A and B are shown apart, each in its own frame.
Chain A
C-alpha cells in the first residue's frame, strides 16, 4: 500500500469576491502539490502570490472555490484533520493575559490533553523552545522572537505529524531566526512533516527538501531543491590551505585539457548571518568571561 501524503492539494482554486462593482480576484489558480510524510516543503513566492491562501485552505480556514485539500488523507475542511496539524501564523498573537506555561497548556487542553500528561508536555515544549525561565511571565512583555517560539510550542503541543509555518522567522533577529531554523531541522530529524512559506530564500534553501514557486496564484515550478538549484554544467572544488603552486598547476591542467573552462576562482564567503552570529556570540562569551572574573 502506498504511503498517504501528509498534505495533498488537488487543483485548488480560491476566488475572493470583490465589492459591489465587481472586481473579484482569483488568489489561487489550479494549484496542486503533494508533501510526503517527514518532508520539509517550502512554498515561496512574492507578496500576494497566494501562499498564505493555499496554507489557509490546507488548514480549513478558507473554503476552496474548487479543488480539494487533505491532511494525511482526511479532508482538511473537517475538524478531525486538525488533530494532526500544528500551525504557527505569521506574526502570531496569543492571549496576552496568559503566561507562557498557561498558553501552551490552553492549546494542549483544546487538543484533549489533561492532567500529568499535559503538565509534562508543557514542560517539554517550553524546554524545546528555550522558554523555561519565562514560563510564569505573561505574554504581554514578550519580544517578537519569544512570541514566535511560544507559537511553535503551542503548534507542537499535541505532537502533530504535520507543522505548518507561515513566515516563521518574520521580524525575528538573526539569533532568534537561527534558533527557529534549528528547531525546524530538529522537527525534521524527528520525522515531523513541515510545510512552510517564507521570504527568506536562503533559509528555505538551507532547510527544505522540496520547494514550490507560486506566482499570481499559479504554481510555476516545483521539485527537489537539489535538482532545482544545481547547475549541472558546472563543478565546484573547494580546497583547504592550497599553496599558490598547486593552484597554478590546476589552472595549467585546465588549459592543457582543452575541455571545459575555469570560470572563476577565489575565496568562498561565509554568509552575513554566520558572521553576525559569530560576532555576537563571541562578544557575549567575552562579556560573560569578564563578568565572572
Chain B
C-alpha cells in the first residue's frame, strides 16, 4: 500500500487555491472593465435632476437623494446578479470543454473542494466589484447630499426661516445621505448575488450547455423575485373567500423550499434607500438565510457532481 498520507474529505486550503485561481481568471478576463460605465453612470447622476424636483422650494428635497440611491442600488443589483449567473455558467462548462477539469480532478482534489473553490472565487469577485461600486455610490452621494443641503439652506434662509429650523431641514436631508443603513442595502444585494451564483453552480453541474445554465438561472432569479406574491395567492383565502386546495398548498411549499425568496432581500434594500429602521439582527437573519441557501445549493451541486463522469 502507498505510504503517502490520505486526502481529507474537504480541504479549505485547496478550495482557497481554486478560488484564488478563479479570481485571477476572472480578473485577467478583464471583467472589472464593466465597472467603468457604472462609474460614469454614478458620476453622471450628480448632474441629473428629478423631473418632479423643482428646486429647494419642493416639499421633499430628499427625493433627489432617494433617486440617486435607488438608481445606484438598482445598478448594483443588476450587475451583481447578471455577473453571478454569467461567470458561474461559463466557468465549470468551460473547464469541462477545455479538459482542464481532467487535470484538476486527477490531482488529489475532492470534487467538493473544486465546487466550493469555484463558488468562492465568483463570490469574491462579486464582493470586490460591489465594494468598488459602493465606494463610488457613497462618494457621489456625499457630494450630492452636500449640494442639496446647501441649496436648501440658502432657500430657507432667503424665505426667512430661523437658523434652528434651517438646521433641522438640512439635518433631514443629510439623514438621506451615506449611512450604515445604506450599507445594509448593498449587503442585501451582495447576499442575493451570492445565492444566485450558488443556483447557477447547481444548474451548471448537470446542464449540457452554457446557454441552458444562463436561461435557467435567470428563470430562477425571476421566480425568486415573485415567489412571495405567488405564495400569498396560494396560501391565503382568495377574493371570494375560497380556501386554497391541497395541491396549491403542496405546490406553494415546494416553491418556497426550492426557490429562494429574493423579495426579502429586495425589501431590505428598498428600506435602506428609504432610511427605514433596519437592525443588526435583521441583517444577521438575512445573512443566516443566505448561508442556508448557499449551503443547500452547494450540497445539491456536490451530489450531482460527485457522480459525474468525464
Contact = CB atoms under 8 A, between A and B. Distances in A.
Interface of A: 4, 56, 59-63, 71-74, 79-87, 89, 91-95, 97-98, 106-107, 109-112, 151, 154-155, 158, 161, 164
Interface residues of B, number: 29
Interface of B is mostly: loop
Nearest to B27: A97
Interface in B1-42: 1-2, 4-7, 14, 17-18, 21, 24-25, 28-29
Interface string B281-310: 000000000000000000000000001011
Contact of B25 (A63, A72, A97, A161): A97
Contacts of A94: 100, 103
Nearest to A93: B98
A112 B108 contact: yes
Contacts, number: 94
B133 to A, nearest CB: 24
B56 interface: no
**The 3 nearest A-B residue pairs measured at CB:** A87-B106, A97-B28, A93-B98
Nearest to B28: A97
Contact of B106 (A59, A72, A97, A98): A59
Interface of B: 1-2, 4-7, 14, 17-18, 21, 24-25, 28-29, 98-100, 102-110, 307, 309-310
A72 B3 CA distance: 10
A11 B107 CA distance: 25
Nearest to B309: A62
Contacts of A73: 1-2
B24 to A, nearest CB: 7
Given A61-B309, A61-B310, A87 B4 contact: no
A63 B108 contact: no
Contacts of B6: 80
Nearest to B22: A95
